[in-house]
Amino acid sequence: MTSGSFTVARRRKSAARTVRLGAGVVVSMLILALLVHVADEARAAVKLSSALATVEPADLVPGADRFGPVEGAPPRAQALEGTTPRGYVFLNTDVAGAVGYSGKPIHLLVGLDTEGAITGAVLHEHHEPIVLIGIPERKIKSFIAGYVGRNVREFLEERDAGDQSLDIIAGATVTILVIDDAIRRSALRMARALGLAGLGEASSKPTRGEIDAAQEGVDDWMTLIGDGSVRRLNLSVGEVTADFAAAGKEKAAARPESEEPEARFIDLYAAEVSVPVIGRSLLGDAEYENLRARLEPGQHALLIAANGLYSFKGSGFVRGGIFDRIQLVQGDGSIRFRDRQYKHLGEVTADLAQPFAEVGLFVVPADAEFDPAAPWTLQLLVQRAIGALDKDFLLYELSYTLPARYLKPLPGPAPAADAASTSGDPSLAEPEAAPELWRRIWEDRLVDVAVLGAAMIALTLIFFFQDWFARRPKLATGVRVGFLLFIVAWLGGFAQAQLSVVNILTFGNALISEFRWSYFLMDPLIFLLWCGTALALIFWGRGVFCGWLCPFGALQELLNKAARLARVPQLTLPWGLHERMWPVKYVIFIGIFGVSFHDLAFAERLAEVEPFKTTVILHFAHDWPFVAWAGVLLAIGLFIERFFCRYICPLGAALAIPGKIRIMEWLRRHKECGAPCHRCAQECMVQAIHPDGHINPNECLYCLHCQQVYHDEHRCPPMIQRRLKRERRRARASAKITIPPTTSAGPTGTATSP
**Is residue 439 very low, low, confident or very high in pLDDT (cuts 50, 70, 90)?**
low
Whole-angstrom distance, CA of residue 669 vs CA of residue 707: 8
Which pLDDT does position 618 carry in this prediction? Answer: 73
26, 100: one domain: no
pLDDT of residue 237: 93
> Three-state DSSP class for 733?
helix
Mean pLDDT value across the chain: 79
Across the range 561-582, mean pLDDT stands at 92
Give the pLDDT confidence of 657-674 residue by residue, as tens digits: 887 777 778 888 888 888
Over residues 483-508, mean pLDDT: 86
- Looking at the fold, whether 169 and 263 belong to one and the same domain comes out as no
Same domain? 492 vs 568 = yes
Let me know whether 129 and 278 are in one domain.
no
DSSP, res 53 = T
**Sheet of strand 376-385: strand arrangement:** 333-335, 326-330, 376-385, 391-400
- Per-residue model confidence (pLDDT) at position 265: 94
- The string of pLDDT tens digits covering residues 375-385 is 898 989 888 87
Q: Which residues of 80-91 are buried (b: 16+ CB within 10 A; e: fewer)?
A: bbeeeebbbbbb
Query: What are residue 70's phi and psi, to 5 degrees?
Result: -75, 130
Question: What's CA 696's distance to the chain center, in Å?
Answer: 30
Q: How far apart, in whole angstroms, are the C-alpha atoms of residue 556 and residue 547? A: 11
- The least confident of 156-170, 258-272, 283-297, 545-559 is 156-170
Residues of 163-172 as b/e, b for ≥16 C-beta within 10 angstroms? ebeeebbbbb
In a domain, 420, yes or no: no
Question: Are residues 380 and 297 part of one domain?
Answer: yes
> Which pLDDT value is given to residue 89?
92
Statement to judge: residues 459 and 315 lie in one domain: no
Mean pLDDT of 149-162: 75
Q: Does 435 reside within a domain?
A: no
Residues 553 and 491 in one domain: yes
* pLDDT score at 545: 92
Give the range with max mean pLDDT: 126-135, 637-646, 704-713.
637-646
Instruction: Give the pLDDT confidence of 327-366 residue by residue, as tens digits.
Output: 888 876 778 788 788 898 989 999 999 999 999 999 998 8
Residue 471's contacts (CB-CB under 8 Å, 6 or more residues apart) are 708, 711
Whether 48 and 83 share a structural domain: yes
Q: Would the pLDDT of 220 be above 80?
A: yes
The pLDDT confidence band at residue 748, using thresholds 50, 70 and 90, is very low
Region of poorest pLDDT, from 14-23, 426-435, 626-635, 642-651:
426-435
pLDDT at 137: 64
The residue with greater pLDDT, 667 or 177, is 667
Residue 23 confidence (pLDDT) above 70: no
Quote the pLDDT of residue 415: 40
Task: Give me the pLDDT at residue 465, please.
Answer: 92
Instruction: Classify burial at 321, counting beta carbons within 10 Å of its beta carbon; exposed 0-12, middle 13-18, buried 19 or more.
Output: buried
Per cent of the chain over pLDDT 90 is: 28
pLDDT confidence band for 316 (50 / 70 / 90): low
Would you place residue 38 in the very low, low, confident or very high pLDDT band (cuts 50, 70, 90)?
A: very low
pLDDT value, residue 294: 87
Average pLDDT over residues 458-469: 92
Confidence class for position 628, pLDDT limits 50, 70, 90: very high
Is residue 426 domain-resident? no
Q: Would you place residue 510 in the very low, low, confident or very high pLDDT band (cuts 50, 70, 90)?
A: low
What is residue 202's predicted lDDT score, i.e. its pLDDT? Answer: 54
With respect to residue 490, please indicate whether it lies within any of the assigned structural domains.
yes
Task: Please check whether residues 161 and 308 belong to one and the same domain.
Answer: no
376 falls within a domain: yes
What mean pLDDT comes out for the span 137-148? 79
- Number of Cβ within 10 Å of residue 727's Cβ equals 11
Of 396-400, 408-412, 470-474, the least confident = 408-412
The pTM score is 0.47
Strand order in the sheet with 230-236: 230-236, 264-272, 300-307, 358-364, 342-344
CB-based contact 309:237 (threshold 8 Å): yes
Distance, CA of 147 to CA of 158 (rounded, Å): 14
Task: Kindly state whether residues 240 and 91 are assigned to the same domain.
Answer: no
Domain for residue 723, yes or no?
Answer: no
Q: How many domains does the chain have?
A: 4
Q: Is residue 475 a part of any domain in this protein?
A: yes
The reported pLDDT for the residue numbered 488 is 94
pLDDT exceeds cutoff 80 at 3: no
Q: How confident is the model at residue 147 (pLDDT cuts 50, 70, 90)?
A: confident
Domain range enclosing 12? 3-38
Co-location of 31 and 166 in the same domain: no
Same-domain check for residues 369 and 448: no
Over residues 203-219, mean pLDDT: 75
**What is the pLDDT, as a whole number, of residue 248?**
85
Say what percent of the chain tops pLDDT 70.
77
Tell me what pLDDT residue 98 has: 63
Q: What is the pLDDT of residue 238?
A: 93
- In which band, very low, low, confident or very high, does the pLDDT at 97 lie, cut at 50, 70 and 90? low
203 pLDDT tier (thresholds 50, 70, 90): very low
Q: How far apart are CA 325 and CA 489, in angstroms?
A: 36
- Return the pLDDT at 642: 93
Burial class of 72 by CB neighbour count within 10 A (0 to 12, 13 to 18, 19+): middle
- Tens of pLDDT, residue by residue over 225-263, are 988 999 999 999 999 999 989 888 888 899 898 889 999
More confident: 138 or 82: 82
Residue 163 has pLDDT above 80, yes or no: no
Distance CA 240, CA 260 (A): 12
Is the pLDDT reported for residue 35 higher than 50?
Answer: no
Residue 341 resides in a domain: yes
Range in 138-147, 197-206, 245-254, 616-625 the model is least confident about = 197-206
Mean pLDDT of 571-600: 89
Q: What is the pLDDT of residue 27?
A: 45
pLDDT on residue 70: 86
